[in-house]
């Protein structure tokens, strides 16, 4: 059996005032897999995703990403270099041009030369379909364009894994598709992806596995988009009836 | 919905600043007009009544230099110390945070004038006493340099306020900026240097400019600790000539001219920093 690239073992996370965000979550993600996590707000799905690159500290359990533990804070930047993340709010750097957004971390974290970083950046901007916006500033772009830049920025680090935290939730409906297309393309190229999203279209096109989380636990897990089409658990049915 | 709204606000924050605004241009002219009026008033006084105004200006002119010297040096130290203390105020290291917080709270609770008196009178006395008890000659004969003590006193006081400005500037940025930087593998200091501080800098520019002008005015307090600044030179002139009206009119106009010009320069810098990002 192949080693999982992300191994989540019995993870617990408490917030202040004793709210439990994660209550014993275990999950393996294998190289090239696309795992989709759905669930009501407050179910801990974003917390789980953010634990994978240690934006959240876990209180108990273990997460190993490509051989590195999230608890080993000395190596955390090494781990994060391998794990790209795309946020709901894009979080582009507004004081830098699109090109600089994509180039900065390459230069100062990956230590690439200006030329190499530039070439990588332009290649990726082409890939996400907005090379003509390279010299624009993030806030001159539409939400969909910003999110595509954010994907390019994460990809520029040549990560082994990509995490998506509700990447289309802040977008106007007509812009969702352009972002999903980039994500589906990425999945087809064999990128390992963990996606928190309720976009059924993405599940149908790209997901290898879907997971429903509720109250900090994994409730149901099913291959492809079967979770949407053929839910087994009552909790899943109830949730799907609300979002569909 | 809520989050989208926030995003739109952010957009305004970054785009509005960069559009040249018609209203602002005419405001700039009006402000330069004020500078001109003050300048003309001073020149008229000098030309129409050279005695005593020209004499006053002659007498206090070296005080102007001292005032500017104290202001500029204090401000440079304030910026450096304030930046580090501001970073300390957002530090997750509890010891650094605690120490900086105590410093800020103590300094902000004591009037600047009292602090200057401490630095000029109490501090040297402490050094001399230590020197005596240790029989260490350089300390026993320690003589405080008034200008140096004034600069130290003002810098340490103003840095505490500057630290709070820097902290507010950093905290005004969305948490997502730091998270995005860290998620790309940047260390905390790389994220500060490349992502957080350049953005915070633009937010705090106006407040920093105001601090400079306050500092320029507060520098008049150093006149009580033997620094021959503009205010002190004015007082000396008045006590020898008994011309309070003319003396203080001249001194007040000179301060006004300096603060108005500073305000203009700050504004120009501010606009420049906004353009720089585009």
Q: For residue B193, is it within any domain? A: yes
Backbone angles phi, psi at A157, to 5 degrees: -85, 5
Average pLDDT of the residues in A220-228: 90
Cα separation values, A188 from A46, A57, A81, B66, B69, Å: 24, 31, 22, 71, 66
Give me the pLDDT at residue B7, please.
43
**CATH code at B112?**
1.10.3720.10
Confirm if B230 and B63 have CB atoms less than 8 A apart.
yes
**Hey, are the CB atoms on B179 and A139 less than 8 Å from each other?**
no
Give me the pLDDT at residue A3, please.
87
Across the A:B interface, residue pairs with CB atoms under 8 Å apart total 78
**Hey, are the CB atoms on A95 and B198 less than 8 Å from each other?**
yes
Q: Which residues of B touch A84 (CB under 8 A)?
A: 183-184
Give me the pLDDT at residue B23, please.
56
Q: For residue B4, is it within any domain? A: no
| Candidates B11, B170, B176, B183, partner chain A, best to mutate (most A CBs within 10 A) | B183
Gyration radius of chain B over CA positions: 23
Give me the helix-helix angle, B197-218 and B244-276, nearest 10°: 170
β-pair partners for A12: A23, A60
Domain that holds residue B148: 65-276
Q: What ipTM describes this predicted complex? A: 0.92
Give me the pLDDT at residue A1, please.
61
Chain B positions touching chain A (beta carbons under 8 Å): 3-4, 7, 10-11, 14-15, 174, 176-177, 179-187, 190, 194-195, 198-199, 202, 277-278
**Hey, are the CB atoms on B14 and A80 less than 8 Å from each other?**
no
Give me the pLDDT at residue B278, please.
40
β-pair partners for A212: A38, A220
Average pLDDT of the residues in A121-139: 95
Average pLDDT of the residues in A47-76: 93
Q: How far is CA B123 from the centre of its chain?
A: 23
Average pLDDT of the residues in A150-174: 95
Other C-beta atoms lying within 10 Å of the C-beta of residue A95: 20
Q: For residue B73, is it within any domain? A: yes
**Hey, are the CB atoms on B185 and A78 less than 8 Å from each other?**
yes
Nearest to B7 among A53, A78, A170 (CB): A170
**Hey, are the CB atoms on B180 and A87 less than 8 Å from each other?**
yes
Beta strand pairing call for A20-29 and A209-214:
unpaired
Give me the pLDDT at residue B275, please.
53
Separation between Cα atoms, residue B165 and residue B203, nearest integer Å: 10
Nearest to B180 among A91, A137, A170 (CB): A91
Q: Which residues of B touch A89 (CB under 8 A)?
A: 3, 7, 174, 176
Tell whether A108 is within 8 A of chain B (Cβ). yes
**Hey, are the CB atoms on B185 and A109 less than 8 Å from each other?**
yes
Q: For residue B47, is it within any domain? A: no
Q: For residue B27, is it within any domain? A: no
Cβ neighbourhood burial of B49 (10 Å; 0-12, 13-18, 19+):
exposed
This prediction's pTM: 0.84
Nearest to B179 among A83, A91, A154 (CB): A91
Beta strand pairing call for A217-223 and A6-14:
unpaired
Confirm if B103 and B85 have CB atoms less than 8 A apart.
yes
Backbone angles phi, psi at B231, to 5 degrees: -65, -45
Separation between Cα atoms, residue B104 and residue B86, nearest integer Å: 10
pLDDT mean across residues, chain A = 93
Q: In this model, does residue A39 exceed pLDDT 60? A: yes
Tokens of B42: 């001073």
Separation between Cα atoms, residue B242 and residue B263, nearest integer Å: 33
Domain count, chain B: 1
Min distance A53 CA to chain B CA atoms (Å): 7
Q: For residue B17, is it within any domain? A: no
Q: For residue B205, is it within any domain? A: yes
Please list, in sequence order, all residues whose beta carbon lies within 8 angstroms of the beta carbon of residue A135, skipping any fewer than 6 positions away.
A97, A98, A99
pLDDT in tens, B165-183: 999 999 999 999 999 999 9
Which value, to the nearest 10 degrees, does the dihedral of the CA atoms of residues B136, B142, B148, B150 take?
120
Q: For residue B75, is it within any domain? A: yes
Cβ neighbourhood burial of B199 (10 Å; 0-12, 13-18, 19+):
buried
Q: Which residues of B touch A135 (CB under 8 A)?
A: none
Please list, in sequence order, all residues whose beta carbon lies within 8 angstroms of the beta carbon of residue A206, skipping any fewer than 6 positions away.
A34, A183, A184, A187, A188, A193
Tokens of B46: 């000098």
Nearest to A108 among B10, B190, B199 (CB): B190
Alpha helices in chain B (DSSP H): 2-15, 22-48, 50-89, 94-108, 112-117, 123-134, 137-140, 146-171, 175-183, 188-191, 197-218, 230-241, 244-276
Tell whether A136 is within 8 A of chain B (Cβ). no
Which segments of chain B have a pLDDT < 50?
1-13, 15-17, 276-278
Separation between Cα atoms, residue A60 and residue A240, nearest integer Å: 30
């Amino acid at each position: 059996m192949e080693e999982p690239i992300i191994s989540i073992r019995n993870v617990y996370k408490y917030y202040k005032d004793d709210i439990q965000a994660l209550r014993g979550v275990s999950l393996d993600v294998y190289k090239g897999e696309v795992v989709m996590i759905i669930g009501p707000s407050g179910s801990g799905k974003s917390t789980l995703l953010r634990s994978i690159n240690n934006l959240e500290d876990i209180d108990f359990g273990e997460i190993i990403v490509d051989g590195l533990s999230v608890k080993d804070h000395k190596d955390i930047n090494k781990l994060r270099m391998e794990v790209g993340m795309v946020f709901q709010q894009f979080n582009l750097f507004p004081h830098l041009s699109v090109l600089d957004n994509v180039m900065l971390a390459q230069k100062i974290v990956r230590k690439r030369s200006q030329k190499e970083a530039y070439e990588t950046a332009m290649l990726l901007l082409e890939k996400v379909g907005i090379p003509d916006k390279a010299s624009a500033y993030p806030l001159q772009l539409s939400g969909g364009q910003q999110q595509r830049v954010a994907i390019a920025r994460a990809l520029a680090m040549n990560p082994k894994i990509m995490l998506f935290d509700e990447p289309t939730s802040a977008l106007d409906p007509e812009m969702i598709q352009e972002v999903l297309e980039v994500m589906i393309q990425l999945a087809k190229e064999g990128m390992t992806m963990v996606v928190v999203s309720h976009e059924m279209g993405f599940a149908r096109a790209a997901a290898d596995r879907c997971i429903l989380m509720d109250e900090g636990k994994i409730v149901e897990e099913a291959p492809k988009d079967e979770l949407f089409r053929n839910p087994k658990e009552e909790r899943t049915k109830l949730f799907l009836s609300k979002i569909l | 919905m809520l989050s989208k709204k926030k995003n739109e606000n952010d957009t305004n924050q970054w785009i509005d600043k960069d559009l040249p605004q018609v209203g602002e241009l005419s405001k700039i002219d009006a402000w330069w007009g004020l500078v001109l009026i003050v300048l003309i008033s001073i020149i008229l006084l000098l030309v129409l009544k050279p005695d005593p105004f020209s004499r006053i200006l002659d007498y206090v002119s070296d005080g102007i230099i001292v005032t500017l010297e104290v202001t500029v040096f204090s401000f440079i130290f304030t910026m450096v110390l304030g930046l580090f203390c501001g970073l300390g105020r957002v530090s997750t290291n509890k010891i650094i945070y605690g120490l900086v917080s105590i410093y800020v709270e103590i300094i902000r609770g004591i009037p600047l004038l009292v602090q200057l008196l401490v630095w000029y009178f109490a501090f040297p006395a402490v050094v001399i006493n230590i020197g005596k008890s240790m029989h260490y000659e350089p300390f026993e004969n320690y003589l405080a340099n008034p200008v140096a003590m004034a600069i130290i006193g003002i810098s340490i006081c103003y840095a505490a306020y500057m630290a709070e400005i820097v902290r507010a500037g950093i905290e005004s940025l969305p948490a997502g900026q730091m998270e995005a930087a860290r998620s790309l593998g940047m260390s905390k200091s790389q994220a500060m240097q490349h992502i957080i501080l350049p953005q915070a800098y633009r937010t705090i520019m106006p407040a920093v400019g105001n601090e400079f002008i306050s500092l320029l005015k507060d520098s008049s307090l150093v006149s009580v600790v033997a620094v021959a600044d503009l205010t002190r030179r004015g007082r000396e002139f008045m006590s020898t000539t008994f011309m309070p009206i003319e003396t203080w009119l001249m001194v007040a106009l000179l301060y006004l001219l300096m603060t108005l010009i500073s305000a203009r320069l700050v504004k120009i810098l501010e606009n420049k920093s906004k353009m720089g990002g585009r």
